[in-house]
Structure 1
Amino acid sequence: MEPLNFPKYTFRFKNRENKIYIFDAIRKKFIVLTPEEWVRQHTVQFLLQEKKYPISLINVEKELTFNGLKKRYDIVIFNSDGSIFLVVECKRSTITINQQTFDQIAQYNMILEAEYLMVTNGLHHYYCTMDYEEKRYDFLRDIPDYRRF
């Protein structure tokens, strides 16, 4: 897999039935290593190691229903009170992040109502905060590090 725009992290891999798997510390199991999973696992490590979010507040690849359609979000970080702090949308590195990508995460966020959004393809990272009164997102340079609430 190609290098991404994250610090260097150590991962556990295994090979089974001619497929490479990567260990997901959140789901506590090996997952087939796809280009999107490579970005997702780097993002998880970034959130754990650089931003210091506790593993207990992070959820990966869960299903939600939007307008009767089942969708999956990539990563969610919860506040200690159970509300959602951050929603992350991960794309493979060959996908250009554009308005459609932001529309997708904005749709998810209509249900989740997170304070912050992150969109990454592993090479480019975009961070936003939500302004619910104005129904818009404002871009940021970074997301906050973990703080106890």
Structure 2
Amino acid sequence: MEPLNFPSYPFRFKNRENKLYIFDVIRKKFVVLQPEEWVRQHVVHYLLNDKNYPLSHINVEKQLLVNNLKKRYDVVVYRPDGEILLLVECKSPQINISQDVFDQIARYNLQLKANYLMVTNGQNHYYCKMDLEEEMYTFLKTIPKYGP
């Protein structure tokens, strides 16, 4: 896999039946290493190691209903009260971050109501703080570290 625009992390890999797998510390299992998964695993380690979010507050690849359609979010971080603090949309490094990607995460966030959004293809990262009442967002340089 190609290097991404994240710090390097100590990933665990294994090869089975000519497929490469990476260990997901959230799901506690090895998953097939696809380009989007490579980005998702970097995001998880970034949140854990660089932003100090607790492992128990992070969830990956869960289903949600958007306009009666089954969709899957990539990563969410919960606040201690159970509300969603951060929603992350991961794309393969070959996918350009376009308005369509922002529209996708905005549709998901109508349901989830996260305070912060992150969109990344592993090379380019975009961060937004949501104003849910005004239905607006402000771009940020980064997301906040975990803290009370």
Q: Which residue of 2 is the match for residue 25 of structure 1?
A: 25
1:31-62 deviation per Cα after TM superposition (whole angstroms, max 9, x unaligned): 00000000000010000000000000000000
After TM superposition, what 4+ stretches of structure 1 lie above 6 angstroms from structure 2?
Answer: none
Inter-partner Cα distance in structure 2 for 1:58 and 1:49: 13
1:7-32 deviation per Cα after TM superposition (whole angstroms, max 9, x unaligned): 01111011111100000000000000
Find out whether 1:13 has 2:13 as its counterpart.
yes
Q: Which amino acid aligns with 1:37?
A: E
Unaligned segments of structure 2, at least 5 residues: none
Deviation at 1:67, TM superposition (A): 1.0
Query: What is the TM-score with the length of structure 2 in the denominator?
Result: 0.98
Inter-partner Cα distance in structure 2 for 1:77 and 1:99: 23
Inter-partner Cα distance in structure 2 for 1:74 and 1:49: 18
Unaligned segments of structure 1, at least 5 residues: none
Percent of residue pairs bearing the same amino acid type: 66
Query: What is the TM-score with the length of structure 1 in the denominator?
Result: 0.98
Inter-partner Cα distance in structure 2 for 1:56 and 1:133: 28
Inter-partner Cα distance in structure 2 for 1:134 and 1:50: 30
Inter-partner Cα distance in structure 2 for 1:133 and 1:14: 46
